[in-house]
Structure 1
């Protein structure tokens, strides 16, 4: 059985409607921090209704009444995804080696913070960043990733929209 996971980050209070549609087509959804609004989480409606979200470095100021974990994980067929915002592994460019050392049992590590889409498959675990799914510093338009996973194979598809 193959499952799909929509992966987003850095919405900063606004989730692009085109990304909402992608999330609705997936089994699960992940938000890697800097959510900045409970309405963003409410708009994330994957098929299973399971949304995994972690706190970003901006959450203490904008989601005081809705505490989130710093790190979370999702177990899928064939492995585990570990999720964190990434800002504690280097401010402007989180260190992928540091992330890999912290989560050695993961198959994929998801982080946000930089607002730049990245797929580092040079070593295991893979380290991926969906870019920014909102309007803030989205480098030309909102973006997200969709991971498809089964026991044998995992694939990541990129989605980038015009502003």
Structure 2
């Protein structure tokens, strides 16, 4: 059994609660818009393995000068062979939003799951195979309810998914309405 942390769209800031979840996983997968090398260095899964793809904001003028060499090594897509199937990772900006899930399924029919980012919207589409998963934003920008990620547990017999969303640090907590 393998535990895989799925995250995306950190834009230079990795939420510490997500980093803590990654530490309890075997592999970390980042779906792009990383923002800097420090984010990838902060991902410390048990095996030390981190797979990441370029996002549309992972460009030289948006990354620190000291991180340019790492930026040049990141691919546009990654495929990871996991127990029970293949996980494909893309950022998603090269696939138009209209019918994105259908397009990704046609593009990667041999995958068991496809991870993408870009929209910052947390989505777990498990209605068909391959699954299409967007872990949302794991940083501070456009989190739409707080930083989020997913943990995929993969075995030869079964895959399962846990979704994690956190309250944005410093954001006011929702007030409870008084009972009448």
TM-score tier by shorter-chain length is over 0.9
Shift of 1:144: 0.2
Shift of 1:62: 2.5
Structure 1 length-normalised TM? 0.95
Per-residue CA deviations over 1:28-58 (Å, capped at 9, x if unaligned) read 0000000010000000010010000000000
Distance 1:120 1:5 in 2: 17
Q: Are 2:157 and 1:152 equivalent residues in the alignment?
A: yes
Shift of 1:123: 1.2
- Farther-moved stretch of structure 1 (54-63 vs 10-19): 54-63
Paired residue for 2:109, among 85, 88, 104?
Answer: 104
Structure 2 length-normalised TM? 0.87
Per-residue CA deviations over 1:102-152 (Å, capped at 9, x if unaligned) read 111100000000101101112110000000000000012100000001001
Distance 1:159 1:121 in 2: 16
Distance 1:49 1:62 in 2: 26
Conserved in 2, the CA contact under 8 Å of 1:30 and 1:53?
Answer: yes
Residues paired across the two proteins, number: 161
Match in the other structure for 2:22: 23
Instruction: Name structure 2 gaps, 5 residues minimum.
Output: 169-180
Shift of 1:27: 0.4
Q: Are 2:141 and 1:136 equivalent residues in the alignment?
A: yes
Match in the other structure for 2:84: 78
Instruction: Name structure 1 gaps, 5 residues minimum.
Output: none
Pairwise CA RMSD of aligned residues?
A: 1.1
Match in the other structure for 2:175: none
Paired residue for 2:118, among 110, 113, 118?
Answer: 113
**Secondary structure of the structure 1 residue equivalent to 2:94:** helix
Distance 1:93 1:122 in 2: 18
